Amino acid sequence: MKIRLLYFASLADRAGRAEEIRDTVATNPRDLYAEVAREHAFAFTATRLRVAVNDALVGWDHALADGDEVVFLPPVSGG
Amino acid sequence: MKRFALSEAPIDAASEKARLEHPAAGGCVTFEGWVRNHSAARAVTRLDYQAYGSLAESEGAAILDEACTRFELRAARCVHRVGTLAIGEMAVWVGASADHRDAAFAACRWIIDEVKRRVPIWKNEHYADGESGWLHPDDTPVDIPPPG
């Protein structure tokens, strides 16, 4: 299925892009992060991240659907 | 007007504060976060704030809703800048009004702490030596991209 990923902050720098559309066999964010972390050499382990699907925070075992938009959120630093 | 907002323009603190007014309120507490010229002993020349806008707005609104449940408030608002900010600019504004001061002080403190902890906004510090780095708490810059 096709998943749209958005990247922010250091993840966007490391991936060299702010978004990508990926054809993946991953069925949940946990497996999807392992896939993109390997490809883009992300330094974060998933334990330091949160994940959002279609603009809502979800758990790492959330079932992904074709066309979902996924964001892995590194630790935030607003304020 | 949303109670939590991201803003590309400078924050108008006076007009934000005016929206806290309520005939039953006995006072308000506001907090302004400013861009400072140093971080972890390095000289900082400017900051870039990047937000995951849709989730930042819903998470910010949820924090203000929670604040109104936790504390006896008449109003609570927050504005956070995005984009490039110079030293001294206001990066974030929080305000809470209440019948009594204890609730206003406690809520203002709680809101800024939760915004910093939860809202998907990231700070990229630009240093005087030309380097830059995204802050991902434990507050150290990480993942400066490899050359090339």
In the block, tokens 């240093």 appear at: B127
The pLDDT score that the predictor gives to residue A27 is 98
CATH of B4-35+52-122, one of 3.40.50.720, 3.30.300.10, 3.90.1170.40, 3.65.10.10: 3.90.1170.40
Q: pLDDT by residue (tens digit) across A32-65?
A: 999 999 999 999 999 899 999 999 999 999 999 9
Structural domains of chain A, ranges and CATH numbers in brackets: 2-73 (3.10.20.30)
**Phi, psi torsion values for A24, nearest 5 degrees:** -135, 155
Residues of B at the A interface, defined by Cβ within 8 angstroms: 33, 49-52, 54-56, 58-59, 80, 91-92, 112, 115-124, 133-137, 139, 142-145
pLDDT in the model for residue A64: 98
Give the chain B residue whose CA is nearest to the CA of A71: B52
Residues 6+ apart with CB under 8 A from A33: A42, A46, A49, A51, A60, A72
**Domains of chain B by residue range:** 4-35+52-122
